[in-house]
Chain A
Amino acid sequence: MNPESTAAAEPVVHIRADRGNWDFHNLVRAPIQELVQFKELIRNTVVRDIKVRYKRSVLGIAWTIIAPLMQMIVMWTVFTKAFQVSMPNYALYLFSGIITWNLFSQSSVAGGASILGAAGLITKIKLPRVLFPLTAVINNLVNFSFAFAALLLLMVVTRAPFHWTMLSVPFMLLPLILFCMGWAMLVSALSVFFRDLQYILEIALGALFYATPIFWDPTALPAKWHWVASVNPLAKYVFMMKASIYHGVLPNFSTYAIATFTGLAMFVIGWIVFQRLQRKFIYWI
């Protein structure tokens, strides 16, 4: 026990300019303790972002449902009318893909910009900075649940069959959430140093959208394109979601294991990169 802590239960902060040793305490325990201490702020940030986003709009929170529905209707019109796609319940097929994709793409855009966006707070107040990318993802998870309610409605309206496998949706979401959080931490930290990253990300997301089975059917993919679905982690997440909602089957164990491992790996990478870079943010913001 160090002599300082014997005096009383008062907090003692010791800051050293050097990098410090990147042991379990610095990399894991201390940041998590901080996050727990600031759980109220995490909650407030999520609530505030939702409140502020729709405060001055007429339709308010309804936009979280209207926007993906519109996206779906446009795509449905294009693909059924112009390209003559004839899949049963194609609207549901599209919509389940779109809302899953949106969870990722909006998490990475909002999460990626979250540190630069919180510059005002970060340069003035001491708080656990990792909460910004994390709350951006939580925020989009809230959006996702609203959109999911719309999906249930869509199923009723289009008389799509309800499969019991839909109950597994939370389990399909879990690896994706880990992936989104890791990705948001990574991008938010790196874009402090490379501002171009946000523009690159936008373009990359545009390309990734087509490499993900949102409007196309991965089982109908020619063999020479199979690698796309296996390198693109998003393809797995969207595929798993559609399996449980649309196809009424559970993904096999190895698919789920790989998806979970990918999500976990992304989370760990994002966390480590973030924790290592965060001290330098204020010098670059």
Chain B
Amino acid sequence: MATSSLLTTPAVELKGVGVRYQLNLEKVFSLKELLVSKATRLGRQLRGREQQKTRRTADDFWAIRDISFSVPRGVCIGLTGRNGSGKSTTLKVISGVLHPTEGELWVRGRVSALIELGAGFNPDLTGRENIYFGASVSGLSRAETAKRIDRIVDFAELRDFIDMPVRNYSSGMYARLGFALATDVDPDLLIVDEVLSVGDAPFQQKCKDRMESFKKRNKTILFVSHDPQAIQDFCDTTIELKDGRINSPNP
């Protein structure tokens, strides 16, 4: 196994990652107030209050903190935890949407993140136009998309609706198109944030099959779901988050 660093370096590695939201942002009206709030923050930091590792201070909120784990290649890890425990925040940091406040991380390989299905869709454009647009959002060229479009439409089972504005889609159809598009790319790392629950039962089964095939092809998967059964079916290990911190030791 250890002959190649490709196999030994983990696909994802987080070291002490934290994300701090500043509350009361709406109170900052003017430059003057901004400077005052910066100064008080600095003062607090100097007095060491920032060192207290509470999740919430007067105007700060740590959505996640001290998150360290690594995901070996080809492993499917489930992230669990109550609402607001920081699962989506963690995934956003890994997918590169959210720049962390502290810590560092490495992500190796191409990433496809399903944080929200059809996030880039425009209601006034047709399904087909949105596929081209959505594919370019993940950096695909027009020619590459043209090769995939039939497969995407077939998987979403939307052949009859594909030239209709997505404004007229049901929310399930919308999500199906989003899922078909996002998983048709061939990522090394797939990030899935509880998006499988939207479609109807047959479509959910298809999604599960597709995820299985990702696993078979030794792709790395990070999976968030509130469905314990799904977690148990898919994931090799789980990481539980609680109040923005890891609750279980890194396996």
- Residues of A contacting B85 with CB < 8 Å? none
- Per the bound structure, the CA–CA distance linking A17 and B101 in Å amounts to 5
Contact of A40 among B5, B100, B136 (CB under 8 A): B136
Stretch with Cβ within 8 A of A (4 or more), from B47-55, B110-118, B204-212, B228-236: B110-118
- Sorted nearest first, the 5 A-B pairs with minimum C-beta distance are A279-B99, A126-B96, A40-B136, A41-B136, A124-B119
B76-112 vs A, CB cutoff 8 Å, 1 = contact: the mask equals 0000000000000000110111111111111111110
Stretch with Cβ within 8 A of A (4 or more), from B120-128, B151-159, B243-251: B120-128
If A37-B139, A283-B21 touch, whether A4 touches B108 (CB-CB below 8 Å) is yes
- Residues of B contacting A14 with CB < 8 Å? 104-106
Quick check: B105 and A15 within 8 Å, CB to CB? yes
- Residues of A contacting B100 with CB < 8 Å? 15, 17
Does any Cβ of A come within 8 Å of B133's Cβ? yes
Contact of B119 among A15, A120, A280 (CB under 8 A): A120
If A10-B188, A125-B137 touch, whether A15 touches B108 (CB-CB below 8 Å) is no
Quick check: B137 and A41 within 8 Å, CB to CB? yes
CB contact list, B138-178 vs A, under 8 A = 138-142
- For the A-B complex with A15-B106, A121-B120, A280-B99 known, give 18 more contacts whose Cβ atoms are closer than 8 Å: A4-B106, A4-B108, A14-B104, A15-B96, A15-B105, A17-B17, A17-B103, A17-B104, A38-B136, A40-B142, A44-B132, A56-B124, A121-B137, A124-B97, A125-B97, A125-B120, A125-B138, A126-B95
Does any Cβ of A come within 8 Å of B9's Cβ? yes
Q: Mind listing 20 A-B residue pairs with CB under 8 Å? A: A4-B5, A11-B110, A12-B106, A14-B105, A14-B106, A17-B99, A17-B100, A17-B101, A17-B104, A40-B142, A41-B139, A44-B136, A48-B129, A51-B124, A52-B125, A126-B96, A280-B99, A282-B98, A283-B21, A283-B25
Contact of A6 among B5, B21, B31, B107 (CB under 8 A): B5
Quick check: B125 and A51 within 8 Å, CB to CB? yes
Interface residues of B (CB under 8 A from A): 4-6, 9, 17-18, 21-22, 25, 29, 31, 92-93, 95-111, 113, 115-116, 119-120, 122, 124-125, 129, 132-133, 136-142, 188
Contact of B104 among A16, A41, A44, A279 (CB under 8 A): A16
Quick check: B107 and A13 within 8 Å, CB to CB? yes
CB contact list, A2-28 vs B, under 8 A = 3-4, 6-8, 10-17
Quick check: B124 and A55 within 8 Å, CB to CB? yes
Quick check: A7 and B132 within 8 Å, CB to CB? no
- Residues of A contacting B139 with CB < 8 Å? 37-38, 40-41
A31-42 vs B, CB cutoff 8 Å, 1 = contact: the mask equals 000000110110
Quick check: A283 and B22 within 8 Å, CB to CB? yes
Quick check: B9 and A125 within 8 Å, CB to CB? no
Q: A212 CB to closest chain B CB, in angstroms?
A: 28
Quick check: B108 and A11 within 8 Å, CB to CB? yes
Interface residues of A (CB under 8 A from B): 3-4, 6-8, 10-17, 37-38, 40-41, 43-44, 48, 51-52, 55-56, 120-127, 194, 196, 279-280, 282-284
Quick check: A124 and B110 within 8 Å, CB to CB? no
- Per the bound structure, the CA–CA distance linking A6 and B4 in Å amounts to 10
Contact of A282 among B22, B99, B125 (CB under 8 A): B99
If A17-B103, A44-B136 touch, whether A11 touches B109 (CB-CB below 8 Å) is yes
Among residues of A, the one whose C-beta sits closest to the C-beta of B98 is A282
Quick check: A125 and B106 within 8 Å, CB to CB? no
Among residues of A, the one whose C-beta sits closest to the C-beta of B101 is A17
Among residues of A, the one whose C-beta sits closest to the C-beta of B133 is A44
Q: A120 CB to closest chain B CB, in angstroms?
A: 6
Quick check: A282 and B97 within 8 Å, CB to CB? yes
- Per the bound structure, the CA–CA distance linking A8 and B109 in Å amounts to 10
- Per the bound structure, the CA–CA distance linking A125 and B106 in Å amounts to 18
Contact of A48 among B107, B116, B122 (CB under 8 A): B122
- Residues of B contacting A13 with CB < 8 Å? 96, 106-108
- Residues of A contacting B116 with CB < 8 Å? 124
Contact of B4 among A7, A37, A126 (CB under 8 A): A7
Contact of A52 among B9, B122, B138 (CB under 8 A): B122
Contact of B5 among A7, A37, A41, A43 (CB under 8 A): A7
- Residues of A contacting B92 with CB < 8 Å? 123
Quick check: A126 and B113 within 8 Å, CB to CB? yes
Quick check: B6 and A8 within 8 Å, CB to CB? yes
Q: A46 CB to closest chain B CB, in angstroms?
A: 11
Q: B122 CB to closest chain A CB, in angstroms?
A: 6
Quick check: A10 and B109 within 8 Å, CB to CB? yes
- Residues of A contacting B101 with CB < 8 Å? 17
Quick check: B9 and A4 within 8 Å, CB to CB? yes
Q: B192 CB to closest chain A CB, in angstroms?
A: 13
If A4-B9, A48-B125, A125-B113 touch, whether A40 touches B141 (CB-CB below 8 Å) is yes
- Per the bound structure, the CA–CA distance linking A269 and B140 in Å amounts to 30
